[in-house]
Amino acid sequence: MANPRITLIGLGLTGTSLGLALTENAEGIEVVGHDKEPTVAQEARKNSAVQRTEWNLHKACEGASAIVLAIPQGEVGETLELIREDLQPSTLILVLSSVFQPVLNTFHTVLAGHHNAVVGHPILPGVAGPLIARGDLYRQAVFCLAAGPDTNPEALQLASNFVETAGAEPLYVDPAEHDGIAAGVDLLPQFVGAVLIHMAAGMPGWAEARRMAGQAFTRTTRFDHSASSLFNMLMANQENVAQRVEQFQQELAAFHQWLTTPAVDDEHPLHVALVQAELERAHWEDNALRHDWDPSPRPASEAEGSGILRQLFLGGLFGGKKPDQGSKR
């Protein structure tokens, strides 16, 4: 019998790192890659993130046991439309996205009748340095997973096994709760960074000021996604992001008031707020570096399942993990 085939659609940082992790941690699988940019696909193949690449999307999905979409938010619906006829009934679909509910809605409309689709969000803080594609990128990373009401429970468990094979820690979350939290810790920072660069570039003195924009400006305004991708993510989670922006405006107003308060001593409200922020930031960074969260999030269920999906994956795909690759916990 042929080895189970995993197809990675999108071979950027996320997709390439996932391919490297699967190649390093699992035996007896074939990893196929597809990216609309030929040079990106070639680089992934050169770095052994995939065993082969396919320029034709349908050819890449042919006979796949699992298909992972690591592509921009705005391309998910169109891509699922294109490949839905290529899916076997047992094919696991895992869409990586920082916004869950719109993806689940797309499953319901585009993949009606296919009950093995799951959405996931790998959390990669990057506090140890710039993120680059590597096989251990997901090691001990929190990997949020969610499914719709029509999703086969077996598919969610298989996605969890898939995530663990990549070295990450699966965490089942409620889609609405995920999107509310992500609006504040993922999308709002990017939104604020875009506002800052837009404001600075529109100032009369920008021609001179840009020469003085250094590390702090760089950190705050760096785009993690293209403008189009960020726009699609913001609009997909529009209500939650708008609420977070309102909260930010209230906080900013408070900081503005403290800033204009005459300084007296270290009990100045602005100094107190900055100390609190510094301590909270240091505590979070320490937790992120050690992957040690207190209180610890409840791990994904490890309950055993049965059926054709589990037999397919656990019997062939995830049953041959290489030894001495390090503990996941």
Between 293 and 2, the higher pLDDT residue? 293
Q: Based on the domain organization, do 96 and 236 belong to the same domain?
A: no
Between 304 and 163, the higher pLDDT residue? 163
Which tens digit of pLDDT belongs to each residue from 301-317?
Answer: 444 433 444 444 444 45
Closest CA to 111 of 160, 172, 67, 173: 67
How far apart CA 275 and CA 281 sit, in angstroms, is 10
Range of the domain at 109: 5-173+299-317
SS3 category, 171 = strand
Name the pairing type of β-strands 92-96 and 117-122.
Answer: parallel
* Residue 304 falls inside a structural domain: yes
Range picked from 52-61, 117-126, 279-288 for highest mean pLDDT: 52-61
**Which residues contact residue 293 at a Cβ distance below 8 angstroms, ignoring those fewer than 6 apart?**
142, 287
* Residue 325 falls inside a structural domain: no
Pick from 64-73, 77-86, 242-251, 264-273: least confident: 264-273
* Residue 323 falls inside a structural domain: no
Total-model pTM: 0.85
Q: Based on the domain organization, do 289 and 310 belong to the same domain?
A: no
Backbone phi, psi, residue 61, to 5°: -90, -10
* Residue 328 falls inside a structural domain: no
Q: Based on the domain organization, do 31 and 62 belong to the same domain?
A: yes
Q: Based on the domain organization, do 222 and 270 belong to the same domain?
A: no
Q: Based on the domain organization, do 222 and 145 belong to the same domain?
A: no
Q: Based on the domain organization, do 138 and 102 belong to the same domain?
A: yes
Name the pairing type of β-strands 142-146 and 117-122.
Answer: antiparallel
Q: Based on the domain organization, do 39 and 145 belong to the same domain?
A: yes
Q: Tally the C-alpha atoms within 13 A of residue 165's C-alpha that lie toward its C-beta.
A: 27
Q: Based on the domain organization, do 26 and 87 belong to the same domain?
A: yes
* Residue 12 falls inside a structural domain: yes
- Reported as type and span, the H/E element at residue 221 is helix 215-221
Token pair belonging to 159 = 């996605």
Q: Based on the domain organization, do 193 and 280 belong to the same domain?
A: no
Share of the chain above pLDDT 70, in %: 87
| Chain-centre distance for alpha carbon 264 | 45
Q: Based on the domain organization, do 139 and 279 belong to the same domain?
A: no
In this predicted structure, what is the pLDDT of residue 297?
A: 47
* Average pLDDT of every residue of the chain: 88
> Of 189, 221, 249, which residue constitutes the final position of a domain?
249
The tally of domains found in the chain comes to 3
Q: Based on the domain organization, do 107 and 138 belong to the same domain?
A: yes
Pick from 184-198, 204-218, 263-277: least confident: 263-277
In this predicted structure, what is the pLDDT of residue 311?
A: 46
* Residue 107 falls inside a structural domain: yes
Residue with tokens 């660069």: 197
In this predicted structure, what is the pLDDT of residue 32?
A: 97
Question: The domain spanning residue 234 has which CATH number?
Answer: 1.10.3660.10
* Residue 326 falls inside a structural domain: no
Average pLDDT over residues 129-133: 81
